[in-house]
Amino acid sequence: MSTPSFPTIHQHPLAYLLGLEGVALLRAFAGERDRAFTEARLADIRQLLQAAETFGEGHDVVPLSVEDGYRYWAPTYDAGPNGFWGMEEPLVRPLMAQVPPGSVVMDAACGTGRHTSWLAEQGYDVLGVDRSPDMLAIAREKVPSARFAQGAVHELPVAEASVDLVVVTLALSHVRDLGPSFAEFARVLRPGGHLVISDTRGLFLGSPLYPLIEGADGEFGYLPNWRHATSEYLEAALPLGLLPRHCREYPRLSDALPAAGADDGGSSPGTDLDPCAPMKFEDPARPPNVWEMMPWIEAASRAAYAGNPALIIWDFERE
């Protein structure tokens, strides 16, 4: 069920909130905020510690393999909110559309067919590939006009030089070493073909989308993730003749928190906590949901994440 090569992690809501306050204070210490902001963060911390019992004992979350994680996740994957989708789709789809309709497109790690469906609607000859049979089953039902095959990004079930465009979206964070996957992308692409990638940045682990493990008495699991440096993509791509044509990092999700006002770039202290209003979780039985907690300490959250990218988008062309 779990993957023993990764640890069981402990996620405590209070630890996350104090961590955000700490990052905000470090950035204030470096000169990004003023004295009033620092004093407000220290006041927040005192209030958080006084309300420590409100946050419970935290949760131990076990590691899952990709296959197990998405097997448990598949039935609810499309139902839960995912702010990355709305942010990512308008960024990557113009890059996908640079190849003409009728071209052979492979949606690698296609999941339940979010991009596969759009590509098929645009008139492409689409092959969706995913290592999870449970996700593929949903994609097949959703996009009957596309072809599908089971396979991993480092071992694609596709002939050499047979694809005009490879699309890999929000999936490479599950890959520790980019080299084998990029070797496969280069192998299946025709000369002049394109590789379009989106990937997450930063520390966002902690979501209402945790997969619930079947038959484990309400136990939740996490999928191990890696944040790849920009140089890692280039080190994997350039020796294979995959030349970068577009690269851009985008700031964190604009809808992750309520409207900020002046605090995004100014010095407003932004004291948010109301000691008379205890913080409540939507579902206390789940591990902490970071999106639920960030608005509780909005000023600290915005300062901690300010300027940090949430997504990186690439377009590589095969020589």
In the chain the domains, ranked by start, together with CATH numbers, are 9-62+254-305 (no CATH), 66-201+225-250+310-318 (3.40.50.150)
pLDDT at 56: 87
pLDDT at 251: 82
Q: Is 319's pLDDT higher than 70?
A: yes
Within a 10 A sphere around the Cβ of 310, how many other Cβ atoms?
20
Task: List the beta strands (DSSP E) in the chain.
Answer: 9-11, 59-63, 104-108, 125-130, 147-150, 163-169, 189-200, 221-222, 242-251, 309-318
Q: Which of 145, 158, 150, 110 is nearest to 133 (CA)?
A: 150
Answer yes or no: are the C-beta atoms of 117 and 141 closer than 8 Å: no
User: pLDDT-derived band of residue 209, with 50, 70 and 90 as boundaries?
Assistant: low
- The reported pTM is 0.87
pLDDT at 190: 98
pLDDT at 161: 98
pLDDT in tens, 111-149: 999 999 999 999 999 999 999 999 999 999 999 999 999
User: pLDDT-derived band of residue 1, with 50, 70 and 90 as boundaries?
Assistant: very low
Residue 315: strand, helix, or coil: strand
Answer yes or no: are the C-beta atoms of 137 and 195 closer than 8 Å: no
Within a 10 A sphere around the Cβ of 176, how many other Cβ atoms?
10
pLDDT in tens, 149-180: 999 999 999 999 999 999 999 999 999 999 99
Q: Is 260's pLDDT higher than 80?
A: no
User: pLDDT-derived band of residue 204, with 50, 70 and 90 as boundaries?
Assistant: low
CA 291 to chain CA mean position, Å = 13
Name the residue with higher pLDDT: 185 or 56: 185
Task: List the beta strands (DSSP E) in 186-259.
Answer: 189-200, 221-222, 242-251
| Amino acid found at 231 | S
pLDDT at 31: 97
User: pLDDT-derived band of residue 86, with 50, 70 and 90 as boundaries?
Assistant: confident
